[in-house]
Amino acid sequence: MPSRSIIMVATLAVRIPTLDVADSAPRRSDSIDSLIALLIGRRFAILTGAGISTDSGIPDYRGPSGTLRKRQPMQLQEFLREESARRRYWSRSYLGWPKVETARPNASHHSVTTLERSGRSTGLITQNVDGLHSAADTTTLVELHGSLHWVRCLSCPLRIRRSDLQHTLQQLNPGLAAQWFDRVAAGDAELNPDGDAELDPQLAQHFVIPSCPACHGILKPDVVFFGENVPQSIVSQAWSMLDGATALLVLGSSLAVYSGFRFAKGAHDRDIPIAIVNQGRTRADALAALCVDAPLQVVLKALVSALC
């Protein structure tokens, strides 16, 4: 059995890959019928990545070619050490948050919930921080990297809703809202998968950020930054879903980051067949029993029809 040690991950404005999944060799693409045949009679754990949320308007980390989008990493120690880094993060988050807040689950999220309710899945592990699986009423859920919908204080137990913090940020920076959001509307500010937006660093220099209203500590999104540990309890919950499964279904993830890939590796080590549905190559293609290179909504509609 693989070790259940704490996972080191890169998330939010990070997602640093440990492997380039792009390759000159063509990726095999198995049929949807083969996928259905593999999963019939099995209970499977589900692992999702950013690709499942693109139809909700949230961009993914890689295109079908496997090319990583350019990002500026926010490391935990930098966030803790430098107020300028916190201003940079919160100004970008301030601009990108409305996109996350107004995003709604798409047909793929609802299909995953249907599979859960049918008793076919042992649970869902998501690498996403957008909260869309929860919004689709999936209940047996592990948000491996946390949720952008919450903010916590690093010095006391305070935990507040991100929507409430947005109101505070707007009050502290009243002259910036119209100028910045006009840029988003005009398409001049690129929205990113982790709920922030590209912003000229010069514009963030004078951005005012609040401290904790209870103890004046540092406020941080309740997600895992690069260099930060996933809580052991979360890791254990994720492994327990694989413990009860006889297959692993990966949806919309390149598995380039080890925090997700390790579950594919764990399934392979246990001789649990892996089925991957993703447009583009993944790090676990060589470990998988089959790979379906097709739009998630099409595949999941067929799965629900056949299995539920």
- Rounded CA-CA distance 301/10 in Å is 31
Go through the chain and tell me how many residues it has: 308
- Pull the structure tokens for residue 182: 């006009």
Mean pLDDT of 128-137: 96
Mean pLDDT of 278-285: 94
Query: Which of residues 255 and 22 earns the better pLDDT score?
Result: 255
Query: Which of residues 235 and 23 earns the better pLDDT score?
Result: 235
Mean pLDDT of 262-278: 97
Res 183: pLDDT = 60
Helix (H) or strand (E) segment spanning residue 161: strand 159-161
pLDDT tens sequence across 216-264: 999 999 999 888 888 999 999 999 999 999 999 999 999 998 889 999 9
109 is an active site residue: no
pLDDT tens sequence across 293-303: 999 999 999 99
SS3 content of the chain, % helix, strand, coil (to 5): 40, 15, 45
Locus of tokens 């067949």: 273
Closest C-alpha to 94, from 204, 16, 8: 204
pLDDT band at 103 (very low <50, low <70, confident <90, very high): very high
Taking the whole predicted model, whether its pTM rises above 0.75 is answered as yes
Res 177: pLDDT = 59
pLDDT at 23 over 60: no
Helix (H) or strand (E) segment spanning residue 122: strand 121-126
- Pull the structure tokens for residue 44: 């499977």
Res 253: pLDDT = 96
- Pull the structure tokens for residue 130: 């957008």
pLDDT band at 134 (very low <50, low <70, confident <90, very high): very high
Mean pLDDT of 173-192: 62
pLDDT at 20 over 60: no
pLDDT tens sequence across 66-92: 445 555 567 899 999 999 999 989 988
Res 7: pLDDT = 32
Mean pLDDT of 32-41: 96
- The rounded mean pLDDT for the chain is 85
Q: Which of 109, 110, 133, 145 is catalytic?
A: 145
DSSP string, 6-48: PPEE--SS----SS----SSPPP---HHHHHHHHTT--EEEEE
pLDDT band at 12 (very low <50, low <70, confident <90, very high): very low
